[in-house]
Chains A and B, each alone.
Chain A
Amino acid sequence: MYDLVWLLPALPFAGFLVLTLGGPRISRGACAWIACSTVGISTAIMLAFAVGFLIHPPAEHAHTLTLWRWIPLEAVGIPFSLRLDTLSQAMASVITGVGFLIHLYSTEYMKMDPDYNRFFAYLNLFVGFMLLLVLADNFVLLLVGWEGVGLCSYLLIGFWYRDPANGRAARKAFVVTRIGDAALLIGIFLIFAELGTLHIPEVLALAPERWELGSGVALAAALLILGGAVGKSAQLPLQTWLPDAMAGPTPVSALIHAATMVTAGVYLIARTHGLFELAPPAMQTVAVIGSVTLFTAACAALVQRDIKRVLAYSTISQIGYMFLALGVGAWAGALFHFMTHAWFKALLFLAAGAVINALHHEQDLFRMGGLRKKLPLVFWTFLIGAACLAALPLVTSGFYSKEKLLWDVWISPYGGPWFWAVAMAGAFVTALYSARLVALVFFGPARTQVSARPGGRVGFVLVILAIWSLIGGGIELPHTFAHVTVFSDFVAMTIPTLVELPPGLDAQLWTLLAVASVIVVAGATLGAWLYGAGAPAREALAARTGAVHRFLMNGWEFDRLYDTILVRPYVRLAEWNRADGVDKAVFLITGLTRAAHVAIQRTQHGQLRRYAAGVATGAVIILLIMLFQ
């Protein structure tokens, strides 16, 4: 059965091909059917695999399907091979499941768009590449998927390309992630040069044999891979592209820039965990990047006016949590949070999309309000999503995943109270801005008239995601509650856990849970008060902290920082240095080529007698070489 794994990426790719080749000949209805059914069938297959793995895992908890050799060289035979293990399953089930729901949502959301078919073609292509990325068994194929999703991200951010601002956002996303991609590429070269293989399981097996713990090579490899992960997952210092990426259609933000592609970095680090374990400083770096990112991005989310930018910053912040977990070796914790985050963040984006559509493309939070009565379904589902984001105790999946993550951070040998404290501070701010979102959008006076109500498919998708966001946390519960460890056992089949639970810490765990719950509830209450009854206090505060407000509004001014220290000096240097030696060398090459072309072109004069003379001369030259060398 597991040999059918090739169908997972093949079906969306086939959908893309059909939609592209068919072009405008395919009706909108058929297009929606093709796009949804390809991803839908992939989802069904994926579910069957997951059930199969839970009931009867295959030998070594992994199934590798080698389709054929792609690069036919003895030294570097690179096969098309897909690896189905529990890590790729965890990723692939979210990609297909959430991907399918978002396809379904889009059939209604995008129905007025003239480029309906193009949208679904890109969306299918994205799902195909994303599945290829997580199923790839070697770095080359992984890179194909990695670059492929980058391309789709670019195409979809700039989907409404007639507005130049969208094109700029798409270019920014592409260029900034490319910095990370370059690092990843160099890392792959390094691994190949050192270990002589690109097959990921072989790399993981060989690395501990060839490289000592803490050796420089291992550190370099891990840090270069981290560079790629940081770019793709929008972590510090390469996070600046994600808020601008919100220029794309909302389903794209939900699928690519919240649930799947931006978590590719988390996947990459988990996949190459063996290299990071060999380089403790790299692990520390991951944890530090994660904790700094989660706090800074949460603060930036607190003051945004655009509903999608709030969610974008919150995505950066939540992925920061996952990086923190990865940095302390809590692989299962990171992946569990990835899963719950994919559900509730997709839910939040899709509900936000419904709000934006209802308010005639209004995205400013301060022009929303009072939608609780007018859009009850959207209200309740958004509320559930926000509660999960804030990790409201007991009833939300976000609570269970975040608590597991925080607990792992607390007890991990790589972690400790300091990381935990930063994460807690982040959790407070998260609760605050979640409450702010709900209060501003759904409570208070109505500031914009509702012009459209979501239809059946949008409602259906929102409800499904909301249910998952509520009950999904049940696959992994703290041992003090019920001791359900389905998910961490599932992940541990592929990645042996680093964070062992020492016995006799129940009291500690209870205390931490209580502290976290109090902080979250306090944050949420404060948020609700500030944006409800306490509005005068808030305005007084805002008046006094205008500078801080602006600073956070602009995402800690990273754009300006990069503009000042990187972009503008570079441009100035380039302008000042317009006619330098390097340019001259480059132009010399083109000039020489052109001159050579002109010179040789003269020999093509079209005169037969001189052609004959040319042949004779050539014959003499060949004769001379052969006889006298």
Chain B
Amino acid sequence: MNAIDALAILPLIIVAAGALVVMLVISFYRNQTVSALLTIITLVTAIVSLPTAGGVAPHMVGSLLRIDAFALYYIGLILLASLAVTVLSHSYFEKYRMERGEFYILLLLSVLGALVLPATTHFITFFLGLELLSVSLYVMVGYIFTKERALEATIKYLFLAAATSAFLLFGMALIYAYTGSMAFYDVAVVTQIERTPNPLLLAGAALIFVGAGFKLSVVPFHQWTPDIYQGAPAPVTAFLATVSKAAVLAVVLRFVHQAGLLAHPGTFTALAVIAVASMTIGNLLALFQDNIKRILAYSSIAHFGYLFVALLSAGELGLEAATFYLTVYMTAVLGAFGVVSYMTPADREADTVADYRGLFWRRPAIATTFAIMLFSLIGLPLTAGFMGKLLLVSAGIAANQWFLVLWLVLNSAVGLYYYLRIVVAMYTRVDSEQSDESHRPSTPPFALTIGAVLTVLVLIIVLMGVYPEPMLEWIRLITYRQ
């Protein structure tokens, strides 16, 4: 590895070093706040180092990683989301009055795994990144093991993730068996030469979709989602829903586009089936849910179905729409879980719709924040979610995917119901005052940090809803240079 390689992967190196530092500090001084601060410093340094890495981009690090504008955008996105998750985690764990500093080692390692994925051009880094991301997540999901359902969630996630990783590995092996190479680019060469790809190659790709589909929780690999979302601590759920999925989506986008798989009708049909099924089943499952974390879990299934419409609309517009939509979705979901973390008292999580009844009349600011996040998830105009959906639809239309677009629009209408149910509950007046004091919100100093994060997220949602151009310029730059 030469100096330029090191510069190119500087953000990754910084995060890895940060994990080590946090580990060493904890062995001498165990304090949650210190660990969280070190994590924040690490992440901020990594973000600051992005322009340095960008200076040498595009750059191949061996045949394993490619640091280009696409990778850097997703790395930046993951780092920012992780930053938000860190702040949420700190204030969340502070309520449990235990020393929880070790959590941040796991968080940083998981982030490191996530950072590898967008730059991946090789099956080795694909698998290593994914496993690094997942192994830490198993522990994070069950971190507060005294919590109801925490261990159940961990076991489920561990088993299913292990099983689907096996699918993924086997898929890679099949492709290697046929092409003799593990680099995405070599697969592309083969698919371009052969008009009908070899069954070995297709089977390999299918099994890789199974592994990736599990992480993205798309139908039919979605069933774990609500149980794990519900069982994990709210900030970890936020991490699972944003960082983990963004990283995997990045690698899927790169794999599908670079390996030129969409040209094959079977692959297209398979992904289209996944998209339609995810939209439909995700929304239907969310309809009469009373648990907010489960609603968000089911809705994430639907949202990744929407995203697949952009994935299937090949070309720049599709990539642009997918990237924009993912960014917008992550912002809104972080905001939603931020509100859940904020509202959670020490004894149990505030995650049922009933916990939010009449919230507006007690805490107008936090209720309005939540409402804005939900509006963005619905896709109402003047929020970022509207722009995201608009781009998805226009990408779909440009690619003549009328059926998918129509299905997306119909499903958005179904989605309105369960999001608005929460909003209606928040704005309903509760006459009796007895329920008010049962949900104690965060104690002030940490409420302040969460409040700051939520304010930033609200600003992003509104700004991208009325002034999307700068963000889009950025994304276009990335996709064109890829």
Q: Is the CB of A593 within 8 A of B269?
A: no
State whether the Cβ of A573 lies closer than 8 Å to any Cβ in chain B.
no
Q: Is the CB of B226 within 8 A of A604?
A: yes
Q: Is the CB of B223 within 8 A of A611?
A: yes
A104 to chain B, nearest CB (A): 29
B207 to chain A, nearest CB (A): 7
- What per-residue 1/0 map shows which CB atoms of B154-165 lie under 8 Å from chain A? 011001100110
Residues in chain A near residue B394, CB distance under 8 A: 73
Residues in chain A near residue B199, CB distance under 8 A: 627
Closest-by-CB residue of B relative to A595 is B284
State whether the Cβ of A162 lies closer than 8 Å to any Cβ in chain B.
no
Binds B, one of A63-71, A151-159, A292-300, A443-451: A63-71
Closest-by-CB residue of A relative to B368 is A21
For the complex, what is the distance from the CA of A601 to the CA of B266, rounded to whole Å? 29
Closest-by-CB residue of A relative to B163 is A612
Binds B, one of A239-247, A273-281, A618-626: A618-626
Q: Is the CB of B281 within 8 A of A615?
A: no
Given contacts A73-B390, A626-B203, contact A604 B285 (CB under 8 A): yes
Q: Is the CB of A614 within 8 A of B223?
A: yes
Given contacts A615-B221, A622-B210, contact A600 B203 (CB under 8 A): no
**Which of A594, A617, A627 is the one whose CB lies under 8 Å from B202?**
A627
- What per-residue 1/0 map shows which CB atoms of A1-42 lie under 8 Å from chain B? 000000000000000000001010000000000000000000
Closest-by-CB residue of B relative to A619 is B210
Residues in chain A near residue B219, CB distance under 8 A: 618
State whether the Cβ of B177 lies closer than 8 Å to any Cβ in chain A.
no
Q: Is the CB of A622 within 8 A of B270?
A: yes
State whether the Cβ of A508 lies closer than 8 Å to any Cβ in chain B.
no
Q: Which of B155, B266, B466 has the most CB of A within 10 A?
A: B266
For the complex, what is the distance from the CA of A629 to the CA of B274, rounded to whole Å? 15
- What per-residue 1/0 map shows which CB atoms of B455-482 lie under 8 Å from chain A? 0000000000011110010000000000
State whether the Cβ of A608 lies closer than 8 Å to any Cβ in chain B.
yes
Q: Is the CB of A72 within 8 A of B472?
A: yes
Given contacts A628-B266, A629-B266, contact A608 B156 (CB under 8 A): yes
Q: Is the CB of A593 within 8 A of B284?
A: yes
State whether the Cβ of B114 lies closer than 8 Å to any Cβ in chain A.
no
For the complex, what is the distance from the CA of A600 to the CA of B286, rounded to whole Å? 10
**Which of B205, B224, B269 is the one whose CB lies under 8 Å from A611?**
B224
- What per-residue 1/0 map shows which CB atoms of B274-286 lie under 8 Å from chain A? 1000000100110
Residues in chain B near residue A610, CB distance under 8 A: 223
Which residues of chain B in 85-125 are interfacial with respect to chain A, using CB atoms and an 8 Å cutoff? Answer: none
Q: Is the CB of A625 within 8 A of B160?
A: no
Given contacts A615-B210, A626-B202, contact A72 B159 (CB under 8 A): no
Q: Which of A69, A71, A623 has the most CB of B within 10 A?
A: A623
Closest-by-CB residue of A relative to B156 is A608
B469 to chain A, nearest CB (A): 5
Dominant SS at the B interface? helix
Q: Is the CB of B270 within 8 A of A603?
A: no
B170 to chain A, nearest CB (A): 10
For the complex, what is the distance from the CA of A69 to the CA of B472, rounded to whole Å? 11
B418 to chain A, nearest CB (A): 10
Q: Is the CB of A604 within 8 A of B223?
A: yes
Q: Which of B203, B223, B390 has the most CB of A within 10 A?
A: B223
For the complex, what is the distance from the CA of A625 to the CA of B220, rounded to whole Å? 14
Q: Which of B156, B163, B270, B364 has the most CB of A within 10 A?
A: B270
Q: Is the CB of B207 within 8 A of A623?
A: yes
Which residues of chain B in 415-440 are interfacial with respect to chain A, using CB atoms and an 8 Å cutoff? Answer: none
Residues in chain B near residue A608, CB distance under 8 A: 155-156, 159-160
For the complex, what is the distance from the CA of A68 to the CA of B281, rounded to whole Å? 38
For the complex, what is the distance from the CA of A593 to the CA of B285, rounded to whole Å? 10
Residues in chain A near residue B156, CB distance under 8 A: 608, 611
State whether the Cβ of B265 lies closer than 8 Å to any Cβ in chain A.
yes
Residues in chain B near residue A593, CB distance under 8 A: 284, 287, 414
Residues in chain A near residue B466, CB distance under 8 A: 70, 80
Q: Is the CB of B160 within 8 A of A596?
A: no
Q: Is the CB of A626 within 8 A of B160?
A: no
Which residues of chain B in 159-184 are interfacial with respect to chain A, using CB atoms and an 8 Å cutoff? Answer: 159-160, 163-164, 167
Residues in chain B near residue A615, CB distance under 8 A: 160, 163-164, 167, 210, 214, 220-221, 223
Q: Is the CB of B167 within 8 A of A72?
A: no
**Category for how many chain B residues contact A:** 35 or more
Closest-by-CB residue of B relative to A71 is B390
B446 to chain A, nearest CB (A): 22
Given contacts A73-B394, A608-B156, A615-B214, contact A597 B284 (CB under 8 A): yes
State whether the Cβ of A504 lies closer than 8 Å to any Cβ in chain B.
no
State whether the Cβ of A606 lies closer than 8 Å to any Cβ in chain B.
yes
- What per-residue 1/0 map shows which CB atoms of B1-39 lie under 8 Å from chain A? 000000000000000000000000000000000000000
Closest-by-CB residue of B relative to A601 is B285
**Which of A68, A626, A627 is the one whose CB lies under 8 Å from B467?**
A68
For the complex, what is the distance from the CA of A365 to the CA of B188, rounded to whole Å? 87
For the complex, what is the distance from the CA of A261 to the CA of B164, rounded to whole Å? 62
B413 to chain A, nearest CB (A): 10
Q: Is the CB of A611 within 8 A of B160?
A: yes
Q: Which of B214, B285, B414, B472 has the most CB of A within 10 A?
A: B285
Q: Is the CB of B469 within 8 A of A68?
A: yes
B461 to chain A, nearest CB (A): 15
Given contacts A622-B209, A627-B202, contact A600 B281 (CB under 8 A): yes
Residues in chain B near residue A71, CB distance under 8 A: 390
Residues in chain A near residue B340, CB distance under 8 A: none
Q: Is the CB of B288 within 8 A of A597?
A: yes
For the complex, what is the distance from the CA of A70 to the CA of B266, rounded to whole Å? 38
State whether the Cβ of B352 lies closer than 8 Å to any Cβ in chain A.
no
For the complex, what is the distance from the CA of A447 to the CA of B15, rounded to whole Å? 84
Q: Is the CB of B206 within 8 A of A627?
A: yes
State whether the Cβ of B404 lies closer than 8 Å to any Cβ in chain A.
no
Given contacts A626-B203, A627-B203, A627-B266, contact A597 B285 (CB under 8 A): yes
For the complex, what is the distance from the CA of A493 to the CA of B266, rounded to whole Å? 63
For the complex, what is the distance from the CA of A594 to the CA of B199, rounded to whole Å? 41
A416 to chain B, nearest CB (A): 46
Which residues of chain B in 241-289 are interfacial with respect to chain A, using CB atoms and an 8 Å cutoff? Answer: 264-267, 269-270, 273-274, 281, 284-285, 287-288
For the complex, what is the distance from the CA of A611 to the CA of B284, rounded to whole Å? 18
Closest-by-CB residue of B relative to A613 is B223
Q: Is the CB of B223 within 8 A of A23?
A: no
**Which of A70, A80, A621, A623 is the one whose CB lies under 8 Å from B220?**
A621
- What per-residue 1/0 map shows which CB atoms of B187-217 lie under 8 Å from chain A? 0000000000001001101110110011000
Closest-by-CB residue of B relative to A599 is B284
**Which of A603, A617, A619 is the one whose CB lies under 8 Å from B167?**
A619
For the complex, what is the distance from the CA of A68 to the CA of B471, rounded to whole Å? 13
State whether the Cβ of B186 lies closer than 8 Å to any Cβ in chain A.
no
Q: Is the CB of B207 within 8 A of A625?
A: no
State whether the Cβ of B322 lies closer than 8 Å to any Cβ in chain A.
no
**Which of B203, B265, B364 is the one whose CB lies under 8 Å from A623?**
B203
Closest-by-CB residue of B relative to A612 is B163
State whether the Cβ of B387 lies closer than 8 Å to any Cβ in chain A.
yes
State whether the Cβ of B391 lies closer than 8 Å to any Cβ in chain A.
yes
For the complex, what is the distance from the CA of A628 to the CA of B270, rounded to whole Å? 11
Q: Is the CB of B223 within 8 A of A603?
A: yes
Please name 28 pairs of A and B residues whose Cβ atoms are closer than 8 Å in the assembled complex, sorted by A.
A23-B364, A70-B466, A72-B391, A72-B468, A73-B390, A73-B394, A594-B287, A597-B287, A601-B285, A601-B288, A603-B223, A606-B227, A608-B155, A614-B223, A615-B220, A615-B221, A618-B219, A618-B221, A619-B210, A622-B209, A622-B210, A623-B207, A625-B269, A625-B270, A626-B202, A626-B269, A627-B202, A627-B206
Please give 4 more A-B residue pairs, beta carbons under 8 A apart, in addition to A21-B365, A615-B160, A617-B220. Answer: A70-B466, A72-B387, A597-B288, A625-B269
User: 10 tightest A-B contacts by CB?
Assistant: A618-B220, A629-B266, A626-B266, A625-B270, A626-B206, A619-B210, A611-B223, A597-B287, A623-B206, A626-B202
Using a CB–CB distance below 8 Å, which chain A residues touch chain B? 21, 23, 68-73, 80, 593-594, 596-597, 600-601, 603-604, 606, 608, 610-612, 614-615, 617-619, 621-623, 625-629
